[in-house]
Amino acid sequence: MPTRADLERTGRWLEVSDEEWAQQHASVKAVVDRCLANDAWATKIHKNVAVLLTASVSSRPYLKGSVESFRRLGYWTVLVYDNFVDPTWGGVDYNGWMPPKDVMDLLDSFLIATPYQTWGGVSYPYIFQLRIAAGLFQGFDYVLCANGDCILEKPEGFPQLLELMGDADLMSTGPVNEKEVGTAAFLVRPAAFVRLAKHLNDHVVPYEAYERSTQEYGNTEGRLAAAVRELGIKQAIVPNQPESDQHHTPQGTWYDLVGFRHIHGEHNYAYRYKAIPPHPRYFDPRFMSEADYRGIVAYHEQGDTAALKDWWCKT
């Protein structure tokens, strides 16, 4: 493999013709340029934080905006994806369920469980995704794990978030209480992440483990709270808690510091409860109904809630 030193005309290259040296120089420069181009993404592997986004086909209306916003942090970004294809449906085009190429091009790594899935709901695949992904991050100091339908509007505030975490092993967006720990996003140290992910997985797989734990642990937020409690994970609790784990309105410490928002939650809430939807820049119209996207655009172009009357859910 040539180095930049080989671009200098020294040694035997002083004895060859200018034409021959020009050809050699061009050949070496092409290899060096290709290697240097890798630094744009490869050097992120040496930073102290990695980003893990979790998503499925239902995240695709929000995934492009999510990946774009988290990439602005400048950290190694991994997407772990649930293919969500149930073989009992029949006639499903697998390509129609994957992230588009322009989203894949923004990622540093991509991880997927390849067998066809029959689980249906969100908790089982999410827990499985964490277990598969957690072991990837042992070379980092922190993992920022977030749902692929969330964004950061102020990534420049991220150092303040790290400072707030202090020497804790885990810090969630919230809400946090005895019975649940919010899973929309959390910061976690890799060693604790592996332990938490294993605890979650061990209590849903095999199915008899899920049957034993479901009444006590409940949903995914409840299961994470149980894992934190039973493993003795040191947790930092943010001072300003959101109203709900869906983050249906932008609020809380994570919103204050990094502009954390759950676009999917805001979208659903606005539609059902006659509120204002997020800006269309956060949506990918390729994976939405034309009427849905058109209604959101109409409001943000006109600034008049009259444009939303036909968009809001009819109740």
Question: Residue 26 pLDDT more than 80?
Answer: yes
Q: Do 241 and 97 share a structural domain?
A: yes
Block residue for tokens 């013709």: 17
Bridge pairing between strands 76-82 and 170-172: unpaired
- The total number of structural domains that make up the chain: 3
For the entire predicted model, the pTM comes to 0.93
According to DSSP, residue 181 is labeled B
Q: Do 163 and 54 share a structural domain?
A: yes
Side chain identity at 45, as an amino acid letter?
Answer: I
More confident site: 86 or 224: 224
Nearest Cα neighbor of 162 from 136, 142, 134 is 142
Q: Judge whether 313 lies within some domain.
A: no
Question: Residue 3 pLDDT more than 70?
Answer: yes
Q: Do 106 and 28 share a structural domain?
A: no
Nearest Cα neighbor of 24 from 11, 42, 36, 43 is 11
Q: Residue 198 has which token pair?
A: 């294993």
**Rounded Cα gap, residues 58 and 39, in angstroms:** 33
**Rounded Cα gap, residues 55 and 63, in angstroms:** 8
Question: Residue 291 pLDDT more than 80?
Answer: yes
Range of the domain at 234: 47-262
Average pLDDT taken over every residue of the chain: 93
| Other residues' Cβ atoms within 10 Å of the Cβ of residue 298 | 16
Q: What is the pLDDT of residues 169-201, one digit of tens each?
A: 999 999 999 899 999 999 999 999 999 999 999
Q: Judge whether 173 lies within some domain.
A: yes
Question: Residue 43 pLDDT more than 80?
Answer: yes
Lowest-confidence pick of 11-15, 168-172, 281-285: 11-15
Q: Do 115 and 29 share a structural domain?
A: no
Q: Do 93 and 192 share a structural domain?
A: yes
